[in-house]
Chain A
Amino acid sequence: MKWLGLTSGIPFALSVALAAHADLSPPGHRPPAPDAHAFINARVVVDPSTVLTNATLVVRRGRIEALGTTVATPPDARVWNMGGASIYPAFIEPHWIQGGSGGPLNTSQFSPVQGSQPFTANGHYSFYGVPGDERDPGAPGVGHELSTITPERRIASQFTPDLKGNEELRELGFAVACVVPERGIIRGQSALVSLGEGNPNELLLKPDLFQHIGFDSESGRESSYPKSLMGVIAAWRQTFLDVRAHAEEQAAYQKSPTTRPRPTAEPALEALQPAEAGRQKVVIEPGSVLMMDRAIRLAQEMKLDIALMACGQEWRRPDILSQWRVPLIVPLAFPSPPKFAQEDDWQQVSLDALRGWDWAAENPALLRQKGVIISLSTHGLVDKSEFRRNLRKAIDRGLSESDALQALTLAPARLCGVEDQMGSLAPGKVASFMVIDGSGNYFDPDARLREVWIEGRKYATKTDAPAVKPDKDKPKADKGREIEKKRVARSPLEGRGPLAEPQAVLITGATVWTCGSAGNIENGSVLIVDGKIHSLGRVITVPPELGGKLLRISAEGMHLTPGLVDAHSHSMILGSVNESTLPSTAMVRISDVINSEAGTIYQQLAGGLTVANQLHGSANPIGGQNAIIKLRDGRLPDQLLLAEAPPGIKFALGENVKQSNWGDKNVTRYPQTRMGVRTFYLNRFTAARQYLASWKAFASTGGLRPRRDLELEALGEILEGKRWIHCHSYRQDEILAFLRLMEDFGVKVGTLQHALEGYKIADEIARHGAGASCFSDWWAYKFEVYDAIPYAGSLMHQRGVVVSFNSDSSDLARRMNLEATKAIKYGGISEADALKFVTLNPARQLRIDARVGSLEPGKDGDFVLWSKSPLDSTGRCLQTWIDGRKFFDRELDAQRTSVLSRERLALVDKAKLVANNGEPGTGSTAARAAFFRRALETSRQTEIQQCQDCQLPHSAP
C-alpha cells in the first residue's frame, strides 16, 4: 500500500490488492485468477543497463516478488514458460490527452475581432465593450475571469477511463499514463492513471500530478484577452502575481474579519498555490523553440519547478537547452514528405520546411547529446501505431536504445515521482511489464508485442501479424530506411553570426558621414577597438599595441555612415504584433517575443540597418511595451536587446484604435471616437496615479501590500518619467489633444509615430519636445492620411522638431537610406541633415544616442559601407558592422546563397526518394500534412509585417 504514501489521502488502491481482501465473488461470476505467477525461461530487460537471460520473474498480488536467474518457482504460482521471449518494464506515457486531437500547439494564430456584449464590471481585464465583461466571464461557476485560466480544473475529479485509448497505448507497451487537461493557458491539473481495465477508483493512481501551462493564444472565446503570444505570457505572469496577492488578502481578512472587506472567492488562484510555492511541478508547452527559452526564464523569475513539452524544433537552437537543466517530454510525431503532381510544385517547398522534416527524427538524439533528460511521448500522433516506427527512426538517427528505454521508463517515472514503484523490474516494484516475441527487441518494430501485464494482470494485444509484409515490401522499406538514416539538412545556425570579429578594425579612404559634429570627412579613417569607436578623422594614429590584431579595410571611393536606426519596426516579433483585444494592454511586452530567427534580420542588415525599435501594433490606445534591438544575427533574443535603451511603450490614436476599418461588427469597444480616446487616457492615467499612491502609502505606513497590477505598473512608469511613449498618430487635432493631456499629467511624450499631420502643428510639437517619426511619403491609404504630405519631415525639421523616417515595414526597412533621400527631394533639406533622419535623429528619439546614431569616439562600432553616397538611389550597401563585428558582406552573399540552394536541392532529392520508397505504414495523411507545419519563428518569413496586421479584411499600412 505504498501508493497511499504518495497521495494526500485520496482513496484509491491497486485492484489486485483489493481482490486479495475481497470476499468470494458472487455466484455465477468467474472467480478471480490466481494472484501468483512465475515467468520462466525469459530474457528480462531489467532496466536500461541490465539484461538477464534465462531468468525467472515471480509476481504476487500485482508486485514483483523475485527476479533472477537462480530464482525458484513458488509452488502456488501459475507457470508461464516464456521460451526465450523478452520481458521489458512497461512504459509510462507522460503526456496523454484522452480522446483529444493530440495536435501540436499552434501559437501564431490570430483571430479576427468580433462583436461583444457591453457590460460594466470591476474586474482586472474589464473594459467597456470587450468580451470578458460579462457577469460570468470565465467557465460556468466560480473561476478566473479569463476563460483560458482554469488551474482549478482537476482531471482526477472528471476522470473516466477511455477503454479504447487505454488499449491503443497498451499495444505499444504503456501501462501508465499521465492524463493532462487540454486547451487554455493555465490548464489545470493532470492525474496519473493505470491503462488497465477497471473503474475510475481502481485506475486513478495519483491525482493532481502536475499543473499545466500552454502558450495557447487560440482557445478561449473570440477576441477575448489574450489573443497574442505576448498576451498569453502577460496573463501567465499576472496570474501568478495574483496568487500571492490573494493569499495575503485572505490572510489579512482571516485576522480581522470584522474590519476588512471580504475578499472575492478565487478558486483558480487558490488552486495555483502549490505550483506557485514550488510544491507542484508545472509542465509547460511553449510550442516553439524560442518560447522554450522564454518559458524557462519566466519560470525562474517565478521560482517554479518545471518540465517542458518539446516542440520538435529544438534543432533550430540547441544552444537554448544545453544551458538549462530542465526535463523535457518529447513527442515522437514526425512529418513525412509529400508527393506533388508537378515537378515545379517543389519550388514551393522552402528549405526551412525540408529542414524541419529532415531534422525531426534526429531531435531526440540531439537533445540527449546536449545532456537533456528526456521522456518520450505519443502526444501528437494521430495514429498511435506509428510510434514504434518513429522510435526506430530516432534510433537510426543516433538515439541509443538504452537512452530510448530510459526515456520510456525510468525518466518518466522520475518525472512523475513514481520511480520507487515503476520504471524498472525489481522486487517490490509494481508488476507492469510487456512480453516481446521474435527478435525480442522492442526497438525492432517487426518484433511482436505479445502481451502487456499491468499490476499482475495480463492484457493480450490484438496485433498478430507484423506490420510489414516481409517478402513484398521489405526491400523497398529497407531502401527508404537507408535513405532516411543520413541527415542532409544543416543547422540553421551554420553561416549565421558575425562574419568577422577582429579586435580592432581600421577603415581608410572613405567619405565618412559622421552624422555628428565633425560633419562629413572626405578621405577619412575610422578606427574601432573592442567594439567601440576609438577615433576618426583624416589621419589617425593607431595605438602600437593593436599591431597584429588590426583588420584593415581600404575603402577608397566608398562611403561610410553610422548603422541605420529604424524607430518603428515589427519585423522581429513572434506571433501577433497586436494584443488587439483590450483597449489597454500596457502589460504585454515585446521583449518576451523577440524573434531572433527571422529571415528579415539578414535582409535588413543587407540594407544597412543595425538598430530597430520593435513596437506593438496600433490596435488599441495603449499597446504593449517596446523592445529596442540590435540586428546581431545568430544571437538569442535576449542578446539582441540594446540593454541600455530606456523602456518605452506603444500608444495609438485615430482610426485604428476606434476600430474604424475593422468591419461593422466592431462598434462596442470603448473608445469609438477621437473624443473617447482622450477620455480613455484620462481614465487610465488617473488610475495609474492612484496605483502609485497606494504603493507610496504602503511604503510609508505599511498594511496590506497592494496587488501588483502589471498594466498600471507600466503606466506608472510613464508618470515617473521612466518609460517613453511612442504614439502612433495621424491628425493634428488628435495629436494636440494627446499632447495637452500628457502635459496635464506632467508627461513628456517620446515620439509621435507617423505624425502625418504633424506638419500642421510643428511648433506645438517642438514646444512639447516630442520627436516625430514619420513615413517619408505614404498617403491616401485611409481617410485620416488624405492630408499626409511628403514635405512633412522637412517642414517639421525646419520648425525645430527632431524628425526621423521609419519603415513600419519589413520591406522599407531594407532601404531606409533612400527614404531619407526623399527629405531632400521634398522640402530641400541638406544631405547631412537628411541622413540624420535615419541615424542620429531616431537614436535621439529613442534616447540611445549616447550609444548609436553617429560616428563619434566612445560610441558603438556600428557602421555601414556603401558603394556610392548613401543617398544615391543607384548605390548599394556593401558591408554592415555592429559592435565592431561584421554581420553583412555583399561579396560573401553569393556564396551564402549557393550553399543554401545546394542544401535545398539535396533535400528535395532525398524527400522525393523517401516519398517513393517510404515504408508502408508510415507516411500517414497526418504525417504528410505535418510536413507543411511551419515553425513559429519562420512562419511569417515572406509577410510584410505592419502595424495594422490586425485589420481584416482590408489591411492598410
Chain B
Amino acid sequence: MNFPSIHVASGVGRLTFRHTLIASTLLLTATLLPAERILFTGAMVHTVVGPVLSPGQVLIDGNKIIDVGERLDAKDARVVDLTGLRLYPGLIAATTTLGLTEINAVRSTRDTTEVGKFNPDVQSWIAVNPDSELIPVARANGITHIVPVPQGGLVTGQSALVALEGWTSESMAVRKPLALHLDWPDMSLNLIPKEQIKDKTKWKSPEELSKERQMELLQLEGFFHEANAYLRAREHGVRTEINPTWEAMRSPVKSEIPIVVKADDLRAIKATVQWAKTNQFRLVISGGRDAAMAASLLASNQVPVIFEHVFDRVLRDTEAYDHLFRTPALLHQAGVTLAISAGTGDSAETDIRNLPHHAAHAVAFGLSPEEALRTITLNPAKIYGVADRLGSIEKGKEATLVATDGDLLDLRSHVRHMWIAGHAISLETRHTRLYEKYRNRPPSP
C-alpha cells in the first residue's frame, strides 16, 4: 500500500522544483539587469506626502524615482500597467527581531538577546539571516525595510536600516549604524505579594525596590557620562588606548544617530524625556504603552514615539478596553510624531506581516487613514533620519514601491507587486509554496 504515496510524493517534488526555478529566475533577472527606466501607469498612487493621484504615474530610473504626476512624459521608459491596483511606498518595520530569529522555541535559531548590561558595540545587522523563511512572508505583506533591534541588557546595541532584498547581510544593511537602542530600567516596582514568591526571603518592600531602581538609573546615567569623558579624552589626545565599547558611543552621544529608548511605563517615559533633555540626546521612544498619559510632554519636547501596543490588552483595571487602540489617535492629536510597530516581543517576528493590520486598528479607533499610513511609511523614515530616501513616493527618493489590489489598510487586500530600490521582488513564500503543493494534492484514495 506504500506505492501510491511514493507516487504522490514524487509528483509533488517535480511541481515544487519547477515552481522554485521560475521564482529564482525572476529574482536573478531583476537583480542582474542594468538600470532601467520604468513608467508605472494606471494605479492609484498614494504618495503619502501629497494628494492621492487617481490614477497617477510614477517614473523610475534604476533605483530612484525621477518623477511623479498624473501624466508624465517618459517615451523611452518601459511601461508597467498597474490598472486596478494601488501604489504605495514600501512599509518600514520600525522595531523588529525579524532576521534574528527563525523559530522562537528553538534556541539555536535565536540571535536576539545578548548577555551583559552595556552592549553599545553589538550590531544587529551582521546577524540578519538573508535566507530566513520569515523574510519573504513579511515582504508579501508590503514590508520592504526593517530595523532589527538587538535585545537584552540596558544598552542593547546598534541597529541598521535593512532592506529585505539583497544577496548578503552586508548588501541588505543600507544604512548603518542607524540608531543606538536602550531598554530603560524597569521603573515599575515588582509588587508581587510575598506568599507568591517561592523563596520568601527574596521578597522586597516597595522602599527597598525603590532604592534598587534608583541605583540602576544612576548606573545608566554614569555610563553615558563616562562615555562622554572617554570621547573627550580621545579628542584631546589625552588617551591613546582604544575601547570598542566607548567608541561605539560616539555617534549617539554626538547626536549623529538617535537613541531609541524602549519605555512603556509612565515613569520610564518621563524619566527618559528628562534624561535626554538634560543631555541633549536625540531621543526616540519605542514601546510607549503609557505614552498617551504623557502626550503633551512628548509633544512639547518633540520626542517621536514608535508605538508597539495597538492590539495589547490594557494594563490597568480602570483603563477603557480600547485605551491602547485609541492611543495612536491621542498621540497624533497631541502633536507627537508617531510610528506604529508590531514590536519585538515573543513571536513578533512572525506577526510582523500584520503590520498594516496594526495600523488599521488605530483607524478603527480614531486615527485618520492617511495618518495611519504615515505611521508605517514616512514617519518611521523621518524618525530614523532616512526620509531622504524612503517613506513616500516622491521625486528623488528610492524606487521602493508596493502595488496592492485594494486599500493597504484593508485586511482583505493583497500585495501584488513589489520593487525595492528598483528591483522587482518575488512575492513567493514558504506559505505560498506549501499552499500550491497541497492545493494540488490529488484527492486521497
Residues of A within 8 A of B (CB): 103-104, 106, 108-109, 338-342, 344-345, 347-352, 599-600, 602-603, 606, 655, 661, 759-764, 767, 777-783, 786-787, 789-791, 795, 810-811, 814-815, 818, 821-822, 824-827, 871-876, 893-894, 897, 900-901, 903-904, 925, 928-930, 932-934, 938, 941-942, 944, 954-957
- Do the beta carbons of B105 and A875 come within 8 Å of each other? no
In the complex, B266 has a CB within 8 A of chain A = yes
New A-B contacts (20) at CB < 8 Å, excluding given A347-B290, A763-B443: A345-B210, A599-B317, A606-B321, A760-B441, A782-B105, A783-B105, A783-B106, A789-B431, A795-B439, A818-B411, A825-B412, A871-B412, A873-B360, A894-B320, A900-B318, A903-B318, A928-B205, A929-B205, A932-B191, A954-B104
Q: Which residues of B contact A599 (CB under 8 A)?
A: 317
Per the bound structure, the CA–CA distance linking A814 and B191 in Å amounts to: 28
User: Assuming A789-B435, A875-B364, is B194 touching A602 (CB within 8 A)?
Assistant: no
- Do the beta carbons of A781 and B103 come within 8 Å of each other? yes
Per the bound structure, the CA–CA distance linking A957 and B346 in Å amounts to: 9
In the complex, B312 has a CB within 8 A of chain A = yes
B214 to chain A, nearest CB (A): 8
Q: Which residues of B contact A342 (CB under 8 A)?
A: 210, 267
- Do the beta carbons of A811 and B312 come within 8 Å of each other? yes
Which segment of B177-185, B224-232, B245-253, B350-358 sits at the interface? B350-358
In the complex, B241 has a CB within 8 A of chain A = no
Interface string of B185-217 (1 = CB under 8 A from A): 000110111111000000101110010000000
Closest to B367 in A: A874
Q: Which residues of B contact A351 (CB under 8 A)?
A: 316-318
Q: Which residues of A contact B311 (CB under 8 A)?
A: 811, 815
In the complex, B134 has a CB within 8 A of chain A = yes
- Do the beta carbons of A106 and B313 come within 8 Å of each other? no
- Do the beta carbons of B316 and A109 come within 8 Å of each other? no
- Do the beta carbons of B195 and A933 come within 8 Å of each other? yes
Per the bound structure, the CA–CA distance linking A332 and B46 in Å amounts to: 67
- Do the beta carbons of A781 and B347 come within 8 Å of each other? yes
B194 to chain A, nearest CB (A): 5
- Do the beta carbons of B193 and A350 come within 8 Å of each other? no
- Do the beta carbons of A781 and B317 come within 8 Å of each other? no
Q: Which residues of A contact B365 (CB under 8 A)?
A: 876
- Do the beta carbons of B347 and A778 come within 8 Å of each other? yes
- Do the beta carbons of A822 and B411 come within 8 Å of each other? yes
Q: Which residues of A contact B320 (CB under 8 A)?
A: 893-894, 897
Closest to B110 in A: A954
- Do the beta carbons of A338 and B206 come within 8 Å of each other? yes
Per the bound structure, the CA–CA distance linking A599 and B317 in Å amounts to: 8
Q: Which residues of A contact B357 (CB under 8 A)?
A: 818, 873
A886 to chain B, nearest CB (A): 16
Per the bound structure, the CA–CA distance linking A679 and B410 in Å amounts to: 47
A110 to chain B, nearest CB (A): 10
- Do the beta carbons of A872 and B410 come within 8 Å of each other? yes
Q: Which residues of A contact B265 (CB under 8 A)?
A: 347
In the complex, B414 has a CB within 8 A of chain A = yes
- Do the beta carbons of B267 and A942 come within 8 Å of each other? no
Per the bound structure, the CA–CA distance linking A342 and B267 in Å amounts to: 9
Per a CB cutoff under 8 Å, which of A345, A930, A933 touches B267? A345
- Do the beta carbons of B318 and A904 come within 8 Å of each other? yes
Closest to B290 in A: A347
Q: Which residues of B contact A825 (CB under 8 A)?
A: 411-414
In the complex, B395 has a CB within 8 A of chain A = no
Closest to A954 in B: B105
User: Assuming A929-B193, A956-B104, is B321 touching A347 (CB within 8 A)?
Assistant: no
Q: Which residues of A contact B196 (CB under 8 A)?
A: 106, 108-109, 934
In the complex, B322 has a CB within 8 A of chain A = yes
Q: Which residues of A contact B411 (CB under 8 A)?
A: 818, 821-822, 824-825, 871, 873
A26 to chain B, nearest CB (A): 48
Ordered by A's residue number, 30 sampled pairs between the chains whose C-beta atoms are within 8 Å are A104-B195, A108-B196, A338-B205, A341-B210, A345-B189, A345-B206, A345-B267, A348-B191, A762-B438, A777-B354, A779-B431, A780-B103, A780-B133, A781-B346, A781-B350, A783-B103, A789-B431, A789-B434, A795-B435, A811-B311, A824-B412, A871-B411, A871-B412, A872-B410, A873-B361, A873-B409, A874-B364, A893-B321, A901-B318, A956-B105
Q: Which residues of B contact A932 (CB under 8 A)?
A: 191-194
Q: Which residues of B contact A795 (CB under 8 A)?
A: 435, 438-439
User: Assuming A351-B317, A781-B105, is B193 touching A933 (CB within 8 A)?
Assistant: yes
User: Assuming A348-B191, A780-B102, A825-B413, is B444 touching A764 (CB within 8 A)?
Assistant: yes
Chief secondary structure at chain B's binding surface: loop
Q: Which residues of B contact A897 (CB under 8 A)?
A: 318-320
Per the bound structure, the CA–CA distance linking A352 and B361 in Å amounts to: 29
- Do the beta carbons of B412 and A874 come within 8 Å of each other? no
In the complex, B369 has a CB within 8 A of chain A = yes
- Do the beta carbons of B210 and A900 come within 8 Å of each other? no
Q: Which residues of B contact A783 (CB under 8 A)?
A: 103, 105-106
In the complex, B315 has a CB within 8 A of chain A = yes
In the complex, B270 has a CB within 8 A of chain A = yes
Q: Which residues of A contact B431 (CB under 8 A)?
A: 779, 789-791, 826
Per the bound structure, the CA–CA distance linking A516 and B375 in Å amounts to: 40
Per the bound structure, the CA–CA distance linking A822 and B210 in Å amounts to: 46
Per the bound structure, the CA–CA distance linking A946 and B262 in Å amounts to: 26
Per CB-CB distance, the 6 closest pairs between chain A and chain B, nearest first, are: A782-B105, A341-B210, A763-B444, A873-B360, A933-B193, A791-B435
Per the bound structure, the CA–CA distance linking A904 and B317 in Å amounts to: 10
Per the bound structure, the CA–CA distance linking A956 and B195 in Å amounts to: 27
User: Assuming A109-B196, A599-B317, A900-B318, is B191 touching A956 (CB within 8 A)?
Assistant: no
Q: Which residues of B contact A791 (CB under 8 A)?
A: 431, 434-435, 439
Q: Which residues of A contact B399 (CB under 8 A)?
A: none
Q: Which residues of B contact A871 (CB under 8 A)?
A: 411-412
Interface string of B342-379 (1 = CB under 8 A from A): 00001101100110010011011100010000000000
Q: Which residues of A contact B347 (CB under 8 A)?
A: 778, 781, 956-957
Q: B97-155: which have CB < 8 Å to A?
A: 102-107, 133-134
Q: Which residues of A contact B102 (CB under 8 A)?
A: 780
Q: Which residues of A contact B369 (CB under 8 A)?
A: 874
Per a CB cutoff under 8 Å, which of B195, B205, B315, B350 touches A779? B350
User: Assuming A818-B411, A957-B347, is B360 touching A874 (CB within 8 A)?
Assistant: yes
- Do the beta carbons of B444 and A942 come within 8 Å of each other? no
- Do the beta carbons of A811 and B104 come within 8 Å of each other? no
Per a CB cutoff under 8 Å, which of B203, B315, B354 touches A929? B203
Per the bound structure, the CA–CA distance linking A761 and B314 in Å amounts to: 40
Q: Which residues of A contact B364 (CB under 8 A)?
A: 873-876
Q: Which residues of B contact A344 (CB under 8 A)?
A: 266-267, 270
Per the bound structure, the CA–CA distance linking A791 and B102 in Å amounts to: 20
- Do the beta carbons of A777 and B353 come within 8 Å of each other? yes
Per the bound structure, the CA–CA distance linking A901 and B320 in Å amounts to: 10
Q: Which residues of B contact A929 (CB under 8 A)?
A: 193-194, 203, 205
Per the bound structure, the CA–CA distance linking A897 and B104 in Å amounts to: 37
Per the bound structure, the CA–CA distance linking A175 and B270 in Å amounts to: 57
B285 to chain A, nearest CB (A): 16
A867 to chain B, nearest CB (A): 8
A222 to chain B, nearest CB (A): 10
Q: B326-356: which have CB < 8 Å to A?
A: 346-347, 349-350, 353-354
Q: Which residues of B contact A345 (CB under 8 A)?
A: 189, 206, 210, 267
Per the bound structure, the CA–CA distance linking A789 and B317 in Å amounts to: 36
Per the bound structure, the CA–CA distance linking A941 and B364 in Å amounts to: 25
A797 to chain B, nearest CB (A): 12
- Do the beta carbons of A780 and B134 come within 8 Å of each other? yes
Q: Which residues of A contact B353 (CB under 8 A)?
A: 777
Q: Which residues of A contact B315 (CB under 8 A)?
A: 942
Per the bound structure, the CA–CA distance linking A17 and B301 in Å amounts to: 84
Per the bound structure, the CA–CA distance linking A599 and B430 in Å amounts to: 39
Q: Which residues of B contact A106 (CB under 8 A)?
A: 195-196
Per a CB cutoff under 8 Å, which of A761, A782, A873 touches B444? A761
Per a CB cutoff under 8 Å, which of B210, B312, B360, B430 touches A340? B210
Per the bound structure, the CA–CA distance linking A109 and B357 in Å amounts to: 36
